[in-house]
């Protein structure tokens, strides 16, 4: 019975539906079932509402709710409350309409894609629209829109109908037409939407076009269930006649609207009818009747929007604002958490990259140190040293052989002792360098002299430098510059410093870079050049310098502009012996 009654309602046949619901009521009463009794009364209340008997519908729906509350069926209670709110709305009893729909919303608060939840939100928005709070009305319509309603179904059509109505009140005709076109989806002959299109044309002062909409609907002979549309059309026609100056016709249509409203107890429609009658009689120069209807309009207007209703709507709007602020705060917190997580992730990535880079540089430094060691102790150098010792022995220069062998042994010992160190003191570096230079002097029969000079304040025992950093540059100066000339060579190392850097200048008075490049390089020269390049790269790592400014080589010119030698300038980060050794900063 319930199913067949519902089908009759969907076909807009309230009388046939009532027959089915009353039979269902008899069966539910016989079964003494509160829920079934409540559902039967709910159906009867809807049928009475469709017939335009609003007061009876309200009483029947309240009786239905009494039974449904006993059965504790929240879904059914929510549906009955929503329909009750609609009936109160049709009566213009906005206060009770708001109370009913507020309770329905509490039931549907956590529902998604629920028709009753969407229609309840639309109903709240409509109430705010009726009291002129368009902004809050739109907020509730947006909430309903977010429920992803099915296109063409009643909740979808009702939402777009209300959005079009609101847009028209806000003066946005294009947007209103857009929503009205969507509201016609699934029901292209909707009477209420056609009436709203007439209202829109009337607002645009297109009176003749508006008249066509109103008159066609009025002539269709609307049933009692279309009482709201019939009243709206009568008021629309009254306003068109007022504009045309047909005051008698305007009064006739306004009185018709007033009669419909009074018979149904629809206060808001009576209010609008009184307003139109006051306008018509004022334009007709009938001051007494104009004043009479103006007073009636003012009185009923105040009763429609009571102070109690305004307070409730304000409190409800505050709740909506609180929900909105809470949602914004949650979004803000979520955004901050996401940014924080991204920050941590970025920090971890950067840290890992930095760590990997340090490991790579450390590995690279170790490789360079070993290659530097091999370059410093290259086989050709060792072979030449042993050959020199052999030469001294064969020449009966035993003292020189002994001296050379002693220095060679000390150099080998120091190189091996420092082989595992990334840095040593400048004093230790110079001690190995002196041994090497003394051996080369002895080997080449004092073909050159060397000098090591310091600026005041430099303490070689307190300064850390990369191990084996100076010897390749000095070897390069000897083999590429000093040994290829007839005059006696001179090699000068000069150390100076500033607050952050130790500056080492290695000068020779050799043949210069260009002439050296023109000469055929021997295997020894290639070894020296390799050591030179490795030392420059190790120095850049030690200084954490990728610009190539740690190592500069340039020619020296005399007063005649001739090449007088070569100068290498090494810039070394100043690190004291109290720092941690073996780690590049």
Other Cβ atoms within 10 Å of 456 Cβ, number:
5
Other Cβ atoms within 10 Å of 546 Cβ, number:
9
Q: In Å, what is the CA distance from 506 to each residue of 176, 451, 540, 568, 571?
A: 88, 10, 17, 5, 11
Contacts of 98 (CB under 8 A, 6+ apart): 85, 124, 127, 309, 312, 313, 316
Starting at the edge strand found earlier in the chain, the sheet holding 489-497 runs: 448-454, 489-497, 501-508, 563-573, 551-557
Give the model confidence (pLDDT) of 231-243 as tens digits.
899 999 999 999 9
The pLDDT of residue 225:
58
Which residue ranges in the chain fall short of pLDDT 70?
Answer: 110-113, 221-225, 302-328, 359-381, 420, 520-532, 546-549, 578-585
3-state secondary structure of 570: strand
CA pair distance 565, 489, nearest whole angstrom: 10
Dihedral angle, C-alpha 300, 304, 308, 314, nearest 10 °: -130
Taking phi first (over 0 means left), then psi (-120 to 50 degrees means alpha), and beta for anything else, what does residue 286 get?
beta
CA pair distance 157, 150, nearest whole angstrom: 9
Task: Tell me whether strands 575-576 and 423-425 are parallel, antiparallel or unpaired.
Answer: unpaired
Q: Which run of H or E residues covers position 158?
A: helix 154-169
3-state secondary structure of 251: helix
The CATH number that domain 366-576 falls under is: 3.30.565.10
Contacts of 485 (CB under 8 A, 6+ apart): 510, 511
Return the domain boundaries, the chain. Answer: 2-231+307-322, 366-576
Contacts of 44 (CB under 8 A, 6+ apart): 18, 21, 22, 25, 60, 64
The CATH number that domain 2-231+307-322 falls under is: 1.25.40.10
Q: In Å, what is the CA distance from 262 to each residue of 266, 412, 414?
A: 6, 120, 117
Q: Which run of H or E residues covers position 425?
A: strand 423-425
Give the model confidence (pLDDT) of 223-280 as tens digits.
655 777 888 999 999 999 999 999 999 999 999 999 988 887 788 888 899 999 999 9
């Amino acid at each position: 019975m319930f199913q067949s009654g519902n089908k009759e309602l969907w076909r807009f046949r309230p009388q046939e539906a009532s027959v089915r619901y009353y039979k269902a009521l008899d069966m539910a009463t016989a079964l003494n079932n509160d829920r079934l009794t409540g559902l039967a009364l709910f159906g009867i209340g809807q049928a009475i509402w469709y017939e335009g008997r609003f007061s009876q519908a309200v009483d029947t729906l309240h009786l239905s709710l009494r039974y449904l509350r006993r059965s504790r069926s929240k879904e059914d209670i929510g549906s009955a409350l929503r329909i009750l709110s609609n009936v109160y709305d049709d009566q213009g009893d906005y206060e009770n309409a708001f109370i009913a729909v507020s309770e329905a919303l509490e039931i549907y608060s956590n529902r998604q894609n629920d028709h009753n939840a969407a229609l309840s939100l639309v109903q709240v928005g409509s109430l705010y629209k009726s009291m002129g709070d368009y902004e809050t009305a739109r907020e509730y319509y947006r909430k309903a829109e977010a429920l992803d309603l099915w296109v063409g179904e009643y909740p979808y059509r009702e939402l777009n109908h209300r959005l079009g109505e609101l847009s028209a009140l806000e003066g946005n005709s294009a947007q209103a037409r857009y929503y009205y076109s969507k509201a016609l989806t699934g029901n292209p002959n909707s009477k209420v939407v056609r009436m709203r299109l007439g209202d829109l044309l009337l607002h645009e002062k297109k009176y003749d076009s508006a008249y066509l909409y109103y008159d066609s609907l009025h002539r269709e002979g609307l049933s009692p269930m279309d009482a709201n549309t019939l009243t709206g059309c009568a008021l629309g026609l009254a306003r068109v006649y007022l504009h045309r100056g047909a005051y008698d016709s305007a009064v006739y249509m306004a009185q018709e609207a007033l009669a419909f409203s009074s018979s149904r107890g629809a206060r808001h429609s009576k209010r609008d009818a009184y307003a139109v009658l006051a306008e018509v009689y004022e334009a007709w120069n009938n001051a007494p009747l104009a004043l009479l209807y103006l007073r009636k309009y003012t009185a009923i207007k105040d009763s429609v929007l009571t102070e109690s209703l305004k307070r409730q709507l304000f409190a409800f709007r505050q709740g909506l604002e609180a929900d909105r602020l809470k949602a914004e705060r949650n979004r803000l917190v979520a955004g901050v958490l996401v940014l924080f997580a991204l920050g941590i992730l970025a920090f971890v990535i950067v840290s890992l990259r930095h760590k990997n880079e340090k490991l790579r540089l450390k590995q690279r430094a170790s490789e360079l140190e070993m290659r530097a060691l091999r370059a410093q102790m290259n086989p050709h150098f060792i072979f030449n040293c042993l050959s020199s010792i052999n030469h001294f022995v064969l020449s009966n220069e035993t003292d020189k052989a002994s001296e050379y062998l002693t220095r060679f042994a000390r150099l080998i010992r120091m190189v091996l002792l420092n082989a595992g160190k990334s840095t040593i003191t400048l004093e230790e570096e110079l001690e190995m360098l002196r041994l090497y230079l003394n051996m080369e002097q002895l080997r080449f029969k004092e073909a050159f002299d060397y000098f090591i000079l310091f600026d005041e304040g430099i303490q070689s025992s307190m300064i850390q430098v990369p191990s084996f950093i100076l010897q390749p540059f000095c070897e390069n100066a000897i083999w590429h510059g000093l040994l290829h000339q007839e005059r006696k060579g001179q090699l000068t190392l000069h150390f100076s410093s500033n607050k952050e850097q130790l500056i080492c200048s290695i000068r020779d008075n050799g043949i210069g870079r260009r002439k050296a490049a023109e000469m055929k390089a021997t295997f020894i020269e290639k070894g020296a050049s390799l050591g030179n390049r490795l030392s420059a790269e190790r120095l850049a790592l030690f200084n954490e310098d990728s610009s190539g400014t740690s190592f500069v080589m340039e020619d020296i010119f005399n007063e005649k502009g001739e090449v007088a030698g070569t100068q290498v300038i090494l810039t070394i980060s100043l690190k004291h012996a109290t720092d941690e050794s073996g780690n590049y900063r």
